[in-house]
C-alpha cells in the first residue's frame, strides 16, 4: 500500500514540476456543442475516488425571451430552488446580446440557426444520458428557437415542450413540434397581453412573420390541415381570473410569478401531471 501511494505522489509531483500531463479533451458547455479544450492530468489511486452516480432528475432546457434579460431562467431557478431542486435547469443562450430585443424579435433567420444548435445539443445529451426525462421551456421570442429546433428533431425526441407567451404567429405550423414531444405541447396564452403581444407585435410583427399582427401567445395556435393524431398533443391554456391568486395577472411576464411556477409549471416539468386540463377553455 505505501509503495503504491509513494509512486503515485512521485507521478503527480513530476507532472506539476515539468508542466507535462496536458492533453486535449472534449468539454461540454451548457447549451452549446462540446468544445476541445486543455485539461490538467491528475493521477489518483483507483480506490480513492467514488464512482459518479448518473443524474436522474429531469433535464429542463430553458430559453429566455428577447434581449437576454434572463426573466424566465431566473424565475425558474428560484422556483426550482424553493421546490428542493427537483429538476436540472440548463439555460440555452441564443440571443443577439443583452437588451437587443428588436433584433431577437424580428430575426427569424437567427432563430432558425439557434434552433439547429439547440436540436444538436438536445440530441447529444440524449446520447450521453439515454432514458432521462427531457423538457424544453421557453418564453416569448425564445419559443421561436424551440419551434425551429423541434422541426429538426425526430418523433418523441423530448418528453414535453412548454411555450410561455410565444411571440410567433397564430398560423405557425406547430405540427412538427407536436410530433417531437412525447407528452405533447403546453402553450400558455393570455388575451390580456396587449402590450408586448398586442401593440408591439402590430408594429414590428411576430418573430416568424413581419406583417402578422396576431401572436400565438395571445390568441393561441391555429393548427394547419385536418386534425390528426398529433392534435391531441396540443394543449392551449388561456389565462383566466381563476389563476390570479398565483400572482399571474395576465401580463406578458405573469407566468414568471412564483406561485404560478409552483402550481402550474413545476408539475409539468417534473412529469407529475401527464394530462393537465386547460386553465381556461379559450379567449
- Which residue is associated with the grid cell 419551434? 147
Report the domain count for the chain. 1
| In a domain? residue 22 | no
Whether residue 43 lies inside any domain: the answer is: no
Q: Is residue 171 part of a domain?
A: yes
Determine the structural domain holding residue 175 and report its residue range. 59-270
Question: What is the average per-residue pLDDT within 225-250?
Answer: 90
pLDDT recorded at residue 23: 29
- pLDDT tens-digit profile of 33-69? 334 333 333 333 334 344 567 889 999 999 999 999 9
On whether residue 215 sits in a domain, the answer given is yes
User: What separation, in Å, do the N-terminal and C-terminal C-alpha atoms of the chain show?
Assistant: 73
Between CA 246 and CA 232 the distance in angstroms is 27
Instruction: Write down the pLDDT at residue 223.
Output: 80
Cβ contacts of 49 within 8 Å, gap of 6 or more = none
Q: Which of 205, 135, 136 is nearest to 171 (CA)?
A: 205
The pLDDT of residue 228 is 74
Between these two residues, 228 and 78, which has the higher pLDDT value? 78
Give a yes or no: residue 32 inside a domain: no
Q: What is the pLDDT of residue 32?
A: 36
SS3 33: coil
Task: Give a yes or no: residue 49 inside a domain.
Answer: no
Residue 196 scores a pLDDT above 90: yes
The fraction of the chain above a pLDDT of 70, given in percent, is 77
State the DSSP H helix or E strand holding residue 238, giving kind and residue range, or none if neither. strand 234-238
Question: Do the Cβ atoms of 166 and 142 come closer than 8 Å?
Answer: no
Task: Give the Cα separation of 131 and 128 in Å (integer).
Answer: 10
Residue 7 has pLDDT above 60, yes or no: no
Q: Would you say the pTM of this structure is higher than 0.95?
A: no
Q: pLDDT for 143-160, tens place per residue?
A: 999 999 999 999 999 999
Cell of 232: 391531441
Report the SS3 class of residue 126. Answer: helix
User: In this structure, what C-alpha cell is assigned to residue 95?
Assistant: 440571443
In a domain, 27, yes or no: no
Indicate whether 253 pLDDT > 90: yes
Which residues make Cβ contacts (< 8 Å) with residue 223, sequence separation at least 6?
A: 174, 175, 231, 234
Q: Which residues pair with 62 in a beta bridge?
A: 91, 137
Q: What is the mean pLDDT of residues 230-255?
A: 95
Partnered with residue 89 across adjacent β-strands are 60
Domain assignment present for 41: no
Percent of the chain with pLDDT strictly greater than 90 = 71
For the domain that residue 140 is a member of, what is the CATH number? Answer: 3.40.50.1820
Amino acid at each position: 500500500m505505501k509503495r503504491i501511494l509513494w509512486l503515485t505522489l512521485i507521478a503527480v509531483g513530476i507532472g506539476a514540476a515539468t508542466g507535462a500531463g496536458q492533453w486535449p479533451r472534449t468539454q461540454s458547455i451548457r447549451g452549446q456543442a462540446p468544445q476541445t479544450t486543455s485539461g490538467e492530468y491528475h493521477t489518483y489511486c483507483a480506490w480513492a475516488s467514488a464512482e459518479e452516480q448518473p443524474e436522474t432528475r429531469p433535464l429542463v432546457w430553458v430559453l429566455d425571451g428577447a434581449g437576454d434579460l434572463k426573466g424566465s431562467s431566473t424565475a425558474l431557478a428560484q422556483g426550482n430552488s424553493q421546490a428542493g431542486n427537483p429538476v436540472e435547469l440548463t439555460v440555452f443562450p441564443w440571443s443577439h446580446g443583452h437588451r437587443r430585443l428588436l433584433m431577437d424579435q424580428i430575426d427569424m433567420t437567427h432563430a432558425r440557426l439557434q434552433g439547429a444548435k439547440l436540436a444538436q445539443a438536445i440530441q447529444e445529451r440524449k446520447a450521453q444520458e439515454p432514458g432521462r426525462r427531457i423538457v424544453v421551456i421557453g418564453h416569448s421570442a425564445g419559443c421561436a428557437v424551440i419551434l425551429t429546433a423541434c422541426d429538426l428533431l425526430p418523433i418523441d425526441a423530448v418528453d414535453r415542450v412548454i411555450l410561455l407567451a410565444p411571440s410567433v404567429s397564430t398560423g405557425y405550423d406547430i405540427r412538427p413540434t407536436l410530433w417531437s414531444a412525447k407528452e405533447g405541447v403546453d402553450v400558455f396564452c393570455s388575451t390580456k397581453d396587449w402590450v408586448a403581444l398586442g401593440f408591439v407585435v402590430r408594429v414590428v410583427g411576430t418573430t416568424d412573420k413581419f406583417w402578422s399582427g396576431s401572436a400565438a401567445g395571445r390568441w393561441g395556435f391555429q393548427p394547419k390541415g385536418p386534425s390528426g393524431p398529433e392534435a391531441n398533443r396540443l394543449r392551449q391554456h388561456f389565462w383566466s381570473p381563476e389563476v390570479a391568486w398565483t400572482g399571474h395577472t395576465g401580463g406578458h411576464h405573469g407566468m414568471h410569478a412564483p406561485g404560478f411556477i409552483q402550481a402550474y409549471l413545476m408539475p409539468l416539468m417534473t412529469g407529475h401531471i401527464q394530462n393537465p386540463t386547460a386553465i381556461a377553455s379559450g379567449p
